[in-house]
A and B are shown apart, each in its own frame.
Chain A
Amino acid sequence: MNVPAYNFAYLNEQTKRMIRRALLKAVAIPGYQVPFAAREMPMPLGWGTGGVQVTAAILTPEDTLKVIDQGADDTTNAVSIRRFFVKTAGVKTTEVTEEATIIQTRHRIPETPLTEKQTLVFQVPIPEPLRFLEPRETETRKMHALEEYGVMHVKLYEDIARFGEIATSYDYPALVNDRYVFDPSPIPKFDNPKLDNCPALQLFGAGREKRIYAIPPYTSVKSLDFEDYPFSIPRWEKPCEICGSRASYLDEIVTDDKGGRMFVCSDTDHCRKQKSAA
């Protein structure tokens, strides 16, 4: 059987160049969704193929890669993607946020503040923040072009009218560089403030939907809200039960079938560091 030989980081060089062109455009127009010709990857669409393609396009042999899913390095999909790059690119990997030059993530931003030397790559399922108000692509592109974003607030208004507060807890839309409303991917809104004025380059890849977008370093990212219902992030009553952190995002773990729960850091690297420092 003819099994093909694979290039460094799986993608061939033409594909990487195509993705890099899209990335350059994305960085030039912060928050704008740049269409790109996403390839079939040897993993299912919707499992991070956009992020994987972006990472593959920017990865060099000198890079140190960290992959997290739900904040943790040990989650199955994170392990799977990390192994993929070890296998196809032979790069160094790490679980320590500070050591990484590229961090591919799904659903979280690390608790450890990022630096100018780092790039954060998000896996994005639905890049279009207007999608659930307007399913048709032709219309949403026009709305972006004309900055017709009033309808985003209709959704927030409905939340407040029905639930007394803005009931969007993840995938919380924000305005990038005072121009484009963008979808930060399904990170908890807890992480939204980290997007703003971040020293690291933030890249977003949506493989199935074939879109790339970016937030360049030190760019303004404002979460949408009302003047009298300002954006706020959740706090937990108790600290992490492993490391005692009060400032990190906590996962709920069911400990038995009688209502037992415990709360621990979702960022496993952060938790480990906090615990050893304590």
Chain B
Amino acid sequence: MSALLSIERVSKNYGPRIGCSDASFELWPGEVLAIVGESGSGKTTLLKCISGQMEPTSGKVRYSTRAGREVALDAMSEAERRFLIRTDWGFVHQDAREGLRMGVSAGANVGERLMAVGERHYGRIRSTALDWLGRVEIAGDRIDDSPWSYSGGMRQRLQIARNLVTAPRLIFMDEPTGGLDVSVQARLLDLLRGLVRRLGLAAVIVTHDLAVARLLSTRMMVMQGGRVIETGLTDQILEDPQQPYTQLLVSSVLQV
């Protein structure tokens, strides 16, 4: 078995400023990796670089396709890359409005990726959309409603359904619970954990919240000042952090 995603010395500079520097890791099928750090640590920049949303200044991002072929993201044509992004990958934005098509109904939001890969049967699109709304705990009678009428938590769940409908193998999440109430956060995390396990999804989750990392991830990477300073199994890092910065993070959050 080969790694699903291989990141090799990825760096991104914004002019003279460093976004992220020299990050390397491998992600295996079904594995959930949390990238943790405070704002400005470079975690979101790294996420954008490895998910094809931003071109890294240097370094390589490689992905193993379903056919078992390893492709370098920068060597793919734009058509191939865009196809990969909308079928095999998913991206959950912190602000659901960025990840949803707010001008169309919830059903169309879920159905869009199916139509993008050639599904042309309205009835099937609709029943698949209904099924997915159910899986993310959205009542079926809300299918024709606009996402504008949804609460923040519902929008986030809709965004997740929209991403998962094409059965991607890898999903990227940028602070998926950010900006939600604590109780809503808990429900969403629970749902995400269930989905990821049931579907055997691999995921990269960027969060500043160690609780999110603890609940969802198997491995963790801690970033500070654009660099990865510590990496390891989540439980291990949380119980025995090596770096002073990680120790500070863990002690400040987890004692509560």
Contacts and interface: CB of A to CB of B under 8 A. Distances in A.
Interface of A: 142, 145-148, 150-151, 153-154, 157-158, 160-162, 225-229
B247 to A, nearest CB: 47
A228 B112 contact: no
Nearest to B81: A146
A146 B76 CA distance: 13
Nearest to A226: B122
Given A157-B125, A228-B121, 13 more contacts: A145-B79, A150-B112, A151-B116, A157-B115, A158-B108, A160-B122, A161-B105, A162-B105, A226-B121, A227-B120, A227-B121, A227-B122, A229-B122
Interface of B: 78-79, 82, 101, 104-105, 107-108, 111-113, 115-118, 120-123, 125-126, 143-144
A145 B83 CA distance: 13
Interface of B is mostly: helix
Contact of A161 (B101, B107, B115, B116): B107
A151 B126 CA distance: 15
Contacts of B123: 228
Contacts of B116: 148, 150-151
Contacts of B118: 150
B121 A161 contact: no
A258 to B, nearest CB: 37
Given A146-B82, A158-B104, A151 B112 contact: yes
Given A158-B108, A161-B105, A153 B115 contact: yes
Contacts of A148: 82, 116
Contacts of B101: 154
A219 to B, nearest CB: 21
